[in-house]
Amino acid sequence: MGDNHPMTTSSDAPALPALVAFDLDDTLAPSKSAMPEPMAAALRSLLDVVPVCVISGGQIGQFRDQLLAHLGADDAELSQLHLMPTCGTRYYVHGAGGADDRSPGAIEGMPGWRLVYANDLSPQQIEEGFAVVEAEARRLGLWEERTWGDILEDRGSQITFSALGQEAPLQAKRAWDPTGEKKGALRDAVAARLPGLEVRSGGSTSVDITLKGVDKAYGMTRLAEVTGIPGERMLFVGDRLDPEGNDYPVLALGIPCHAVSGWEETAIFVADLAQRIASAGAGAAPDSGTAGSGGA
State residue 12's pLDDT score: 46
State residue 265's pLDDT score: 98
Q: Can you list the residues of the chain whose pLDDT is less than 50?
A: 1-12, 97-101, 282-296
d(CA 141, CA 189): 13
State residue 106's pLDDT score: 60
State residue 4's pLDDT score: 37
Query: Smallest Cα–Cα separation from 200: which of 167, 139, 248?
Result: 248
d(CA 206, CA 162): 4
Kindly provide the b/e burial profile for residues 22-43, where b requires at least 16 CB atoms within 10 angstroms of the residue's own CB: bbbbbbbbbbbeebbeebbbbb
d(CA 184, CA 198): 14
| Planar angle of CA 23, 104, 228, nearest 5 degrees | 45
CA–CA distances in Å: residue 26 to residues 1, 154, 183, 197: 12, 23, 18, 26
| C-alpha 20, offset from chain centre | 13
d(CA 268, CA 263): 9
Indicate the Cα dihedral angle 211, 215, 220, 223, nearest 10°.
Answer: 30
Q: What is the DSSP letter of 33?
A: S
State residue 292's pLDDT score: 40
State residue 244's pLDDT score: 82
Q: For residue 149, what are the contacts with CB-CB under 8 A and spacing of at least 6?
A: 162, 165, 166, 167, 168
pLDDT per residue as tens digits for the range 68-89: 999 999 999 999 999 999 888 8
Q: What is the DSSP letter of 29?
A: B
**E strand or H helix at 111, and its extent?**
strand 110-118
CA–CA distances in Å: residue 245 to residues 62, 72, 161, 238, 248: 20, 30, 16, 10, 5
d(CA 42, CA 102): 32
Whole-number average pLDDT of the chain:
87
- DSSP letter string, 38-59: HHHHHHHHHHTTS-EEEE-SS-
212 DSSP β-pair partners? none
Q: What is the DSSP letter of 262?
A: S
Q: For residue 178, what are the contacts with CB-CB under 8 A and spacing of at least 6?
A: none
CB 35, CB 29: distance < 8 Å = yes
- Taking CB atoms within 8 Å and a gap of at least 24, the contacts of 95-100 are 95/292, 96/293, 96/294
- Model-level pTM? 0.78
State residue 28's pLDDT score: 98
